A and B are shown apart, each in its own frame.
Chain A
Amino acid sequence: MTMAEMLALGMSKNEQPIETSWDVERVRADFPVLRQTVNGKPLVYLDNAASSQVPQVVIDRGSRYLQEEHSNIHRGVHYLSQRATSAYDGAREKVRRFINARESKECIFVRGCTEGINLVMHGYGRKFVGEGDEIIISEMEHHSNIVPWQMLCEEKGARLRVIPMDDAGELLLDEYDALLNERTKLVAVMHISNSLGTINPLKEIISRAHKMGVPVLIDGAQGAPHLKVDVQDLDCDFYIMSGHKMFAPTGSGVVYGKAEWLERMNPFMGGGDMIRTVTFEKTTYAGLPNKFEAGTPAIAAQIGLGAAIDYLEGLDREEAHRYEQELLRYATEKLSAIESVRLIGTAREKASVLAFVIEGVHPHDVGTILDYEGVAIRAGHHCAQPVMQHFKVPATSRASFAFYNTKEEVDIFVRAVEQVVEVLG
C-alpha cells in the first residue's frame, strides 16, 4: 500500500502496516510444540510473556548433553566432566556476547529472574542498605521485583519508594526525579512490563540514578526476548533474565552484574563450588562467577540457554522486532474494534503484549472460552497486583506475541474474543 492509498483509507501515519520480510512459516517450523491441536483446533499460543516455546535446536542440544555429556561440572578430571564443564562455561560466554558484557564472569547463572533478583537483594541489599535508606521501584513491577525489596526494607528499617505511572502505563519520570535523593541505595525497574507491554526508557532512568551515584537493577525478564540488550551501552549495574521466556528451558537464567559490584557483594547461597577454602573457623569465597553459584547448577538448562542464544543470533533480530511490532499493531487495531473491549496498557513504546478487559466478563471466563478455541492466553493479575489496582480491575486477559505467531492466529484470537462477547457479554 502506498502512503497516498493509506491516507485515502483514513489511516494515520503510525497505523501504517510495517513492511517486513520476515518468513514466519520458516521460523515456525523450528518450534515443534506449535504443531498440535487443542480441542480439535490448531494451537494458537499467545502466552509467550509467561513462557516462550523452545526451538528444535535447543531441544536437541539438551538431549545431546543428557545422552553424551551428563556429569558434574568443575569437579572432575574425567572426560565427561570436562565436556560438561566446557559446554556450561561455553554457554556463559554466549550470554556474555549476547548482552555485550565486558567479561563472562559478570554473568552469573541462576534458575531464573526471581532467583536473580533475590541474589542481588541478599548480596547487595543486605550488605549496602541500612536503616533510613531508600530503594526505588516502580508501580508496574512484577511481584518478583517488589517482594524481595519489601523483605529487605522490613529487615533493615529501610523505605520502599514507588515511581508512579499514568493511565497509559508510562512511568512519570518527573516523579522519579523527585524520589531520587542521597538516601537512595538502589533503583530496581523492569525493562518491559509483562502486564502492560510498556518499554521503559532505561537509559534515562539509569543516567539520572547514576548522577546521584545510585546503582540500577533492570528486571530484563521481558526485555531480553524482545529487544537487543547491550549492558555496556545501557550502563546498568545489574540486568536479570529468565531463560524460559527467551526460548530456552525452565531453570536457566542470568544475573549480569558489573564486576565491581559483584566483587564487593556478599555471596548468596553458601555451599559447594562457591568457596576457596573451608575450615570450621573460616571460609574464604571463590572468585566470580563461582562465588554466586553454590551447588550443582541446572547444567542442561543453561547449556540450552546457550543454544537458544545461538538460535536467536542466527535470526535477524531487528526484522523479528519489526514483525512483532506489526503483529501488535494489527492485533491492537482488530481488538479495539470490539465495542466492549478496553485495552490496558497503551504506552507509546510497547512490546508485543496486549492486555485487555471485556466489560462485564471476568478474564478467567475469557481464558476458558479462548482455550476451548485452542487459543492460549493468560488471565489473571500477572503477578502485578499493584498494576491491577491502578487500573481498578481485578484481573486482565493478556495475549503476548512472539516472532513465530502469525496474522492468521491474531484473526483466530480476535474471533474467539468476539465469541466471548456473544456467549457472556
Chain B
Amino acid sequence: MSALTELYNEQIKEHEKKPRNFGKLETANRVAEGRNPVCGDHFTVYLQYEDDVIKDIRFEGEGCAISKASASMMTRSVKGKNKADAEQLFSEFHQMVLGELDEETTPNQLGYLKVFAGVRNFPVRVKCASLSWHTMHAALEGEETTSTEDFGPDIASSQISA
C-alpha cells in the first residue's frame, strides 16, 4: 500500500462521499464555526451538551476529503461521551496524525479513528484532519469561532528542520 492509498483509504473516501450526522442540529446549545483561512475550509459543529454529556452532535460545511471525513467520523466517536473523554480522544487523535503516538503500540481509545494514521506522512494535511476536532473543542469551551491560525503550528517537533 502506498502512502497515498493509506491516506485516501476506503473508509475515508466512504465518509467523504456520505458524511454522517451532516446538517444542522436544531437542539444544539453549543455551536462553533472553524475555519482554515489558508484553504477556505470551514465547518460548523453543533453540540447538544447537557449534564457534561455530548447528547447529540452534527456538522455542516465544506472542505477537502480529509477534513470532511474527519468531521464525519468525529461526530460518531464523541457522541455520548463526556467532555473529559472527548478531549482525551482529541488529544490521542492529534498525536496520532502528528506522528507522535503509535496507535499500534500505545494503548488508546482511537478505535476506527485509526484510519487517519496515514495523515502523519503528509504533515501539511494535519490541519485538515484536526479542523473539526478543534471546532468541537471550541464549542465545548463555549466559543463561537476558531481558526487554524490559532491552533499553533500543528507540526511535530521532529519535523521542524534546521
Contact = CB atoms under 8 A, between A and B. Distances in A.
B8 A380 contact: no
A365 B4 contact: no
B39 A381 contact: yes
A364 B70 CA distance: 15
B122 interface: yes
Contacts of A395: 39-40
Contacts of A364: 39, 41, 63-64, 66, 125, 128
B57 to A, nearest CB: 23
**Max chain A CB contacts within 10 Å: which of B13, B39, B122?**
B39
B2 to A, nearest CB: 8
Contacts of B63: 362, 364, 394
B5 interface: yes
Contacts of A368: 4, 7, 122, 124-125
**Chain A interface mostly:** helix
A369 B121 CA distance: 12
Nearest to A381: B40
B64 A365 contact: yes
B3 interface: yes
A128 interface: no
**Max chain B CB contacts within 10 Å: which of A361, A363, A424?**
A424
B149 interface: no
A423 interface: yes
A380 B13 contact: no
Contacts of A363: 39, 64
B53 interface: no
B3 A372 contact: yes
B65 interface: yes
A41 to B, nearest CB: 12
A380 B39 contact: yes
A362 B69 CA distance: 12
A189 interface: no
**Max chain A CB contacts within 10 Å: which of B3, B4, B8, B62?**
B4
A80 interface: no
A187 to B, nearest CB: 28
B38 interface: yes
Interface string B110-148: 000000000000101100100000000000000000000
B38 to A, nearest CB: 7
Given A372-B3, A424-B13, A424-B65, A365 B8 contact: yes
A362 B125 CA distance: 13
A412 interface: no
B8 A424 contact: yes
B8 A394 contact: no
A368 B125 CA distance: 8
Nearest to B124: A368
Nearest to B68: A362
Interface string B61-83: 01111101000000000000000
Nearest to A380: B39
Contacts of B40: 380-381, 385, 388, 394-395
21 contacts: A361-B65, A362-B63, A362-B65, A364-B39, A364-B128, A365-B8, A365-B65, A365-B66, A368-B4, A368-B7, A368-B122, A368-B124, A369-B4, A372-B2, A372-B3, A380-B39, A381-B39, A395-B39, A423-B4, A424-B8, A424-B65
Given A363-B39, A381-B39, 8 more contacts: A364-B64, A365-B8, A365-B65, A372-B3, A381-B40, A423-B5, A424-B8, A424-B65
Q: Which 4 A-B pairs have the closest CB atoms?
A: A362-B64, A364-B64, A365-B65, A380-B39
